[in-house]
Structure 1
């Protein structure tokens, strides 16, 4: 029997190494994710061609296999069979993330679902996203397959032997259906990782001791967690005389939400970390942007840009009309992510920001996003709410 997508999740993601070819059902997108080591250095033209093909295939698949999405396309007068171009890509129907709080959207039979993930639910209701093996494998591959994504953090050291990860959050088992816990479990496959959150509590002192011991052992240390926990790590380490220099990086994830009534600024956090931990540079604080409805992560480079993987199309829309905004103009950040097979990951998010294009000094050519703030429902979500009502009124 041939290898499955589950096999790919548990090994280095190379289609060639597990003996799977496109003839066995894998697409050009899979070949890039699992077989190409430099996908994050793909030039703009090649990346555009990949998106057109992958998103077109995904739209046709979901319109045929997700009844709600098919009906939604009809209501939006969108024909999935019309070839996608740069000019009509923004016409692909996108789903407000609020819909995932009210409906169970699936494009595969329920017996193919292997995990259901939930959002943090900080605003009340939680999104529920159902993933099959293929969807999970693509997420895994997109986080682990490119040596360049994390290269300037890890340097030339051996990831398995010389990198130590301290996660200020729960293990996969403890996290249950929480999305970020699963993302962290993928990192655990690569490097020695300790999860410190138990029953909702984190022993920051233990984390500091672990980091100090790892430093004496010559390890490269990655401390990963929500911004407010990372800040607490820095605060409690401030009474130590340990200087971590270039041997420690702080990776934030989970959103820059308010803690204790005050928003956390990444710029302020980076400077605070530099001064309290004795870091060589504030660039040693990096962010990873993802949300449960997306099936790809945006990883911040050394220049501070949150780069989209080359297969994800970011569309910035006017918050009042939902028409595409002019290049460089702020608006609602929306996404077309073709890596999700079990559900249509064509979403209208709840963040306001901008899309930055053009080559980055870090060497990447993919677009990046800058998230400014969350939407205020009363001010900006009128059109998105209308789309939500339109989706909810679909007759099946």
Structure 2
């Protein structure tokens, strides 16, 4: 039996206490796999005084040396031949600064099972057909970003009656189709089929603000939903309180707060985090999160802000077992939430603002500005 099987098929996807021993065994075996198969990973960990014997003895996920996501934007780090990877994706960026991530069949399978169980736990799978509105780029050969693939996969949670993308390609690249988007939303509002709106919180916010400026009110059918993901990226200065998003969503689209779902993740990490009814990102059994001091990188305790270190042993194609993001976050005890899930939850505070790090929302600023201009024509 593969060491990842027991972890992915555990009884409760959020029961970390029952899975601690299984998780750490999977981490040890995953680290050992990469140390054997990836000489660059072996060299990186060796430079930190970490050997195979150390990896076989780790008792805490925070003991595994983490690799910054920025490293993957400049270096390929593979533990299997590229030819054996069945799917590849990149993070978005400018100037060629992108992470290139690949999954072999087994890694893709286990990552998919883990994600599917989280999504099912939060009731996002449905047999009721829906219309999808995607606040992003349509799929295409020139667009192989992970966020584009993720958004496409999100339209498979329920049968798709239609897919409307907010951006369309013209002679001069992608441009927002704000009027077409509003026309589609109005049309959906006159029907009975629910609508699921998918996109970055920033995209959603700017759309709703344009609707507010132009006093546009649409009431979408019952069971409609907003599924936001990807964070605010370089728009962190424009970040608004989630309650403002909920207010605007209900006022202008008729979607209540209870039908708002947010996701968190990173292209370099196989885990998926979906917020609970209290809008907290609880950590599933297939992952752990360590918060590290921004100066020393030493782990800090609950309630302290630091860099988010994501840990998961599900991928064997690349050493993604422990990656250090440029997100700032706080880890809280599960009992502080009140939703009934006892696993700790992650609160995202913002980003470090390192100028070299380009995100999946790169280039979105001009697109959103154009959307604003289009709305007023």
* Distance of 1:123 and 1:149 partners within structure 2: 39
Equivalent pair of 2:119/2:274 in contact (CA under 8 Å): no
Alignment of 1:294-333 (within 5 A): 294-333=269-308
1:255 matched to which residue of 2? 231
1:362 to 317, 327, 339: 339
Specify the SS of the correspondent of 1:98: helix
2:132 to 152, 156, 165: 165
Alignment of 1:249-288 (within 5 A): 249-259=225-235, 262-280=238-256, 282-288=257-263
Alignment of 1:97-176 (within 5 A): 97-121=69-93, 125-146=97-118, 148-151=120-123, 159-173=126-140, 176=143
Specify the SS of the correspondent of 2:299: coil
2:23 matched to which residue of 1? 51
CA offsets, 1:72-107, max 9 Å, x none? Answer: 222222233444555x43221111111112211001
The TM-score, its normalising length taken from structure 2, stands at 0.81
Alignment of 1:220-235 (within 5 A): 220-235=194-209
* Distance of 1:186 and 1:260 partners within structure 2: 26
The TM-score, its normalising length taken from structure 1, stands at 0.77
Specify the SS of the correspondent of 2:52: coil
2:149 to 182, 204, 225: 182
Alignment of 1:373-388 (within 5 A): 373-377=350-354
1:92 matched to which residue of 2? 64
Specify the SS of the correspondent of 1:295: strand
CA offsets, 1:102-158, max 9 Å, x none? Answer: 21100111211233322122697222222222232333222223564331x56xxxx
Q: CA 1:54–1:219 in structure 2 vs 1: closer, same or farther (change >3 Å)?
A: farther
**TM-superposed deviation, 1:60:** 0.9
Specify the SS of the correspondent of 2:202: helix
1:393 matched to which residue of 2? none
Equivalent pair of 2:58/2:64 in contact (CA under 8 Å): no
RMSD: 2.8
1:194 to 142, 146, 163: 163
Structure 1 segments unaligned to the other structure (5+ residues):
1-21, 379-396
Equivalent pair of 1:244/1:278 in contact (CA under 8 Å): yes
Equivalent pair of 1:174/1:198 in contact (CA under 8 Å): no
CA offsets, 1:15-69, max 9 Å, x none? Answer: xxxxxxx3xxx33x23553x55x643x4231132232122111111111111111
Equivalent pair of 2:217/2:251 in contact (CA under 8 Å): no
* Distance of 1:175 and 1:368 partners within structure 2: 36
Specify the SS of the correspondent of 2:348: strand
2:317 to 335, 342, 346: 342
Equivalent pair of 1:228/1:264 in contact (CA under 8 Å): no
* Distance of 1:39 and 1:221 partners within structure 2: 30
CA offsets, 1:314-355, max 9 Å, x none? Answer: 111111111111222111111112112111111111011111
Q: CA 1:272–1:252 in structure 2 vs 1: closer, same or farther (change >3 Å)?
A: same
